[in-house]
Each structure stands twice: as structure tokens, then as C-alpha cells.
Amino acid sequence: MREITVAVVQLAPRLCEVSDNLRRVSEYVDTICREQPVDLIVFPELVTSGFECGVRFTDLAEKVPGHTTNLLAQQAAGYSTHIVFGLVVKEKVESILYNAAVMVGPDGDLIGEYRKTHLRGEERMAFRPGFRYPVLETAFGPVGLMLGWDLAFPEVARSLALDGAEIICLCASWELPFTEEWRALVIARAFENSVFVAAANRIGQEPSYTFAGQSAIVGPRAEILGSMDQEAEGYAVARIDLDEVRRMREEQQLFQIRQPVTYRSLVRRY
């Protein structure tokens, strides 16, 4: 068996307060790892800044690697764990910003990053979309990253699964009143791709949004292995066996039975 322990953290970032949010993220890592050995901790989307920062995103953006990445990488090394978190990143051209997720690992290294592809509403004014779905190699197996609204597009999780991902880390700022959609989509993405999904969604309020929480760890048989309710701040932990991915894929044959030649409409522009 390839068993690992996974935690998803649910909190309410304080808008534009990067230092304070980073302190709270670091405290959660300390708390979780002191209670039990953990292999992977997943935090929400834009956890260091909050969601509705508008033009202030330009001032809050960081390069990768940068201060936040380096700090959490040191902490990951101290606890021999992996940490996935969302933040706003910038390129060499300071005005080019991305809504991104980063993974750091137990060697104190940057394992990789993903830039959100499916931007919604005012996100399209603040960020550029990404265009790749990287699968990151870790000591326990291949990992995919998704952000927020990517969840609504089945092609994202399917692409990651076809490229080998056995667990997908979803960092989200999914809002009310779409809680039922959140639950349904997280479970569907896990089952239809025979993967584990570790979905960390934020809570709290900002000027235009109230966020839905309901963070969860879901297995490839659509079983909920750990979850949080809508309003609570905290975390859920689950022990998972990544060999279950292979067993489920052999049993269901979801990939083998696919008929890609019939899916031409999937790549047609609307």
C-alpha cells in the first residue's frame, strides 16, 4: 500500500493582509504537523491576499520563488511534508499577474506551480490565464493542481488524470450560493477520473462575496474521507491509499473505454 496522510485547511484570509495571512498559514502547518505526521497540506486559493484586492494585486504579487514560497518551503522541510497554497504571482514584467497555486516539498524545494486557466468575472481584469496543466512528481506519486472555477470544467481534471495524476489538490475561493454545485463537482471529478481530490475552500466574507467552505477529501469511489462544514475554520485530515487509484481504474476501465475520436466537439470554440 502507498498510504499517505492528507490535510485540507479551511480559513478566511484577511483582505490584502499578506503578512498576517502568511502567519496564520504557518500556524496551521505547525498545528497540523505537531498533532500527527502529514504528507500533504492543502490551503485555499489566494490564501495570502484574499480575493477582492482589485488594483492592489499588483502590489501584493510575488515572484516564484519568492518570500512566501521560501518561507513555506523551509517549514515544509522542517516537518518533512508537502504544502500546496494559492497566491498571486508576477512575471518579470511587473504588470503581468497570475492567480497561481504552488507546491513546496520536504526537501525545502519548490516542486512546481500552476496558473489558473479558467478565470471568472473580475478575475479576467486582474489576471492572465495560464495554459498548461502540469503534473508534479512527488515522493508518493504524481499530483495535479487546480484552482477554483477550474472545477467546473471536467477537461481540467481529466487532462491531469490522463497525464498520470493520482491526487488532485484543489485550492478554491468558491462562493455562496453555489454550495451544492461545489459538493457535486468535487465528488464527480474524483469518481470520473478515479483520483483522490483534496479540495480546500475558503470561508468568510468580502465586499461582494460570501464563501462556501465545505472543504473535503474525496476518494476515487466518490467516498468522502474527510470534510468541513460551511462556517467553521479549521482543517480535515484523512489517511488515503494511493494504490486505490490503480485498483479503481482497472475495475471501472474509465480510461480504456474512452472513445477520443468521437469527442471532436470538445475542442471546438463555442
Average of per-residue pLDDT across 231-256 = 95
Could you give all domains of the chain from N- to C-terminal order, each with its CATH number?
3-267 (3.60.110.10)
**Residue 132 predicted with pLDDT over 90:** yes
**Residue 266 predicted with pLDDT over 90:** no
**Residue 93 predicted with pLDDT over 80:** no
Q: Which residue has better confidence, 94 or 31?
A: 31
Tens-digit pLDDT profile for residues 9-62 = 999 999 999 999 999 999 999 999 999 999 999 999 999 999 999 999 999 999
Q: pLDDT value at position 155?
A: 96
When the pLDDT of each residue in the chain is averaged and rounded to a whole number, the result is 96
The interaxial angle of helices 154-162 and 179-193, nearest 10 deg, is 30
Contacts of 240 (CB under 8 A, 6+ apart): 3, 4, 5, 6, 167, 196, 217, 219, 225
d(CA 124, CA 229): 30
d(CA 28, CA 54): 27
Question: Which amino acid, residue 240?
Answer: I
Q: pLDDT value at position 269?
A: 82
**Residue 1 predicted with pLDDT over 90:** no
Question: Which residue's entry shows cell 480559513?
Answer: 11
E strand or H helix that includes residue 186? helix 179-193
> Does the bond joining 65 to the residue before it have cis omega, within 30 degrees of 0?
yes
E strand or H helix that includes residue 156? helix 154-162
**Residue 270 predicted with pLDDT over 80:** no
